[in-house]
Structure formats: C-alpha cells, structure tokens
C-alpha cells in the first residue's frame, strides 16, 4: 500500500511540475483585477493555475454525533494543447480526521480529473473528460479500497457579475480489495456566484452526492443547502482567494453529518505572473 501510495503521489507531483511549466504564456498580459480573478477562479475550467486548500468540518457525524474533518488540497492546472483546446487537470488530495468506528487521521482516496475545454468558448464554457479515484487511503475507514473511474463534465455561464454552472461525475469501481463494497457513486456541484466590487463575492456551491450502493436505499442521497461569501486579495503581487460557507444537509444518510462548515484559502497563479 505504501509503495502504491508513493507511486500515485509521485506521478501527480511530476504532472503538476510539468504542467506548471507548460502553462506559462510567453505573450505579455496585463495584471487582472481582484474581481476579474474572482470570476476566473469560480470557473472550474478557467485558464488559471490555482492551489486551494479547502477544509470541511462536518458536525453531527456518525451514531454518536461526532465531528468529522476533511482537508482537501485541490491543485488546478490548465495545459494549452493548441490554439483551440485546453486540458484542465484537477486533483483532490484529502486528509481525513475520521471519528468512527475509532478516531483515525490520514490520507484518503486521491481523485483526479481531466477536462478537455475550448480556449475561446464565449459566455458558455464547457469541459468533458475522465474522473479517476485511486485507493491511496492509509486506513480502511479513510477510503473505499477501490480503483474507480467514470465520466465527468462541467458547464459554466458567465454574464456580468454572475458565474453560474454545474459540475457532475459518476464513477464505478473496476479493481481493488475484494472484501470492500463496490463503488457506484454520483456527484453534482451546482454553483452560483455573484461578484461584488473589490474582489468580494457571494457564493453557493453545495456538493450533492448519491451512493447507488447504499443499503438501505434511504441512505442514497446527501443534499446540502447553504451559501457563503469570499474575497480575492493580494499579498504583494501574489493573489489569493479566501471563502467561508455553511451548508445544512436537508437529505442525508442516517449516520451522515448534519452540517458542513467549509473554509478555503487558495493561491492563484495567473499567467501574467510568469511573463
């Protein structure tokens, strides 16, 4: 397991290093304002390198109403294929503090997605590609023990201060530990952002999931409802994106958390910084 973990993480790190260099644009560009950067980072397939760290605190988890915590490192790196097409790489590297059946902390299952997206799409921006999940968890309670894959797609509409869209995927297991439950799960993340002056914005981006293998079937869906706010700001020449959101799970499995408190801080690397 350790060898497999190091191999997967090593491949991801090498890909990030390569794509960071590949993403540099030699053509000079003006530095974007905080509001313009906010719109770019709100687009899941935007032409912008970002390295967000997202923390999800989930109170009311499990039969004893414990608090679960998941910290995701989520680098997003675009690759310019040619003048017409980009490939956007998105990874989720989770570190899980799991309270049940006994408290355990460690790496969860790494997820990796690729989106093929046009470079000049107009107001409606889209991307399609594969979503992959690797059994990198350092403990049984921290992951699913399965290799899984499936399709993913995103569509984004940008008009004035609004950035609105939907990201979806469904993955199925195809290999892994034989004594673990097969994976067949769906994710949909609608997002609505309204941008204000000086880099401030209002955001709503709940993560809706369905576990098609849930038993009983009443535990299939998790449907949160909530919203938050954020701001893009600069420290020196480096721009950052920070946000705070809260979601109440109006539909959830019996042992699922009641709430999610999501905080995020991300470094933004617009191409103008490399010119």
> Which pLDDT does position 137 carry in this prediction?
98
User: Distance of alpha carbon 208 from its chain centroid, rounded?
Assistant: 13
Q: How confident is the model at residue 79 (pLDDT cuts 50, 70, 90)?
A: very high
Summary mean pLDDT of the chain: 90
Q: What percent of the chain has pLDDT over 70?
A: 87
Whole-prediction pTM = 0.87
Report pLDDT digits (tens) over 116-125: 999 988 889 9
pLDDT of 17: 47
Q: List, in order, residues 6 or more apart from 217 with CB less than 8 Å away.
A: none
How many structural domains is the chain composed of? Answer: 1
Q: Could you tell me which residues come within 8 angstroms of residue 19 by beta carbon, excluding any fewer than 6 positions away?
A: 77, 78, 79, 89
Q: Can you give the C-alpha Rg of the chain in angstroms?
A: 19
Lowest mean pLDDT among 31-40, 142-151, 182-191, 242-251: 31-40
Average pLDDT over residues 69-78: 97
Which residues pair with residue 91 across a beta bridge?
112
Q: What is the CATH number of the domain that holds 19?
A: 2.40.160.40
Strand partners, 164: 157, 192
The secondary element (H helix, E strand) that includes residue 3 is helix 2-22
Helix (H) or strand (E) holding 203: strand 200-204
Of 104, 112, 114, residue with least CA distance to 8 = 112
Q: How confident is the model at residue 185 (pLDDT cuts 50, 70, 90)?
A: very high
Tens of pLDDT, residue by residue over 3-43, are 545 555 555 555 444 444 443 443 334 456 899 999 999 99
**Count of H helices and E strands in the chain?**
2, 15
Across 59-86, average pLDDT? 95
Q: Can the peptide bond before residue 216 be classed as cis, meaning omega within 30 degrees of 0?
A: yes
pLDDT of residue 19: 43
Residues 191 and 206: beta-carbon distance below 8 Å: no
The pair of three-digit structure tokens given for residue 178, joined into one six-digit string = 């034989």
Name the residue with higher pLDDT: 174 or 27. Answer: 174
- Confidence class for position 72, pLDDT limits 50, 70, 90: very high
238: pLDDT confidence band, cut at 50, 70 and 90?
A: very high
Report d(CA 62, CA 259) in Å as an integer.
Answer: 12
* 64 vs 172: which has the higher pLDDT: 172
User: Tokens 């004594």, residue?
Assistant: 179
Strand partners, 155: 126, 166
**Structure confidence at residue 47 (pLDDT):** 86
Q: What pLDDT, on the 0 to 100 scale, is given for residue 31?
A: 54
For residues 206-217, give the mean pLDDT. Answer: 96
């Amino acid at each position: 397991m350790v060898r497999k973990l190091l191999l997967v993480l090593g491949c991801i790190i090498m890909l990030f290093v390569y794509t960071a260099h590949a993403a540099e644009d030699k053509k000079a560009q003006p530095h974007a304002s905080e509001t313009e950067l906010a719109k770019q980072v709100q687009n899941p397939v935007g032409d912008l390198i970002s390295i967000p760290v997202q923390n999800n605190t989930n109170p009311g988890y499990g039969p004893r109403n414990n608090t679960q915590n998941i910290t995701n490192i989520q680098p997003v790196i675009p690759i310019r294929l040619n003048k017409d097409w980009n490939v956007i790489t998105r990874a989720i590297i989770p570190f899980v503090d799991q309270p049940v059946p006994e408290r355990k902390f460690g790496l969860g299952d790494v997820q990796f997605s690729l989106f093929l997206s046009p470079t000049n799409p107009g107001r409606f921006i889209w991307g399609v590609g594969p979503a992959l999940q690797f059994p990198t968890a350092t403990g049984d309670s921290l992951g699913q023990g399965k290799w899984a894959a499936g399709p993913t797609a995103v569509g984004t509409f940008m008009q004035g201060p609004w950035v609105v869209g939907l990201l979806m995927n469904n993955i199925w297991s195809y290999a892994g530990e034989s004594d673990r439950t097969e994976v067949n799960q769906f994710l949909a993340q609608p997002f609505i952002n309204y941008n204000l002056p000086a880099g401030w914005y209002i955001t709503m981006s709940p993560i809706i999931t369905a576990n098609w293998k849930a038993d009983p079937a009443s535990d299939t869906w998790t449907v949160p409802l909530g919203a938050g706010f954020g701001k893009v700001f600069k420290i020196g020449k480096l721009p950052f994106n920070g946000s705070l959101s809260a979601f109440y799970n109006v539909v959830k499995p019996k042992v699922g958390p009641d709430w999610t408190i999501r905080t995020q801080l991300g470094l933004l690397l617009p191409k103008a910084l490399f010119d």
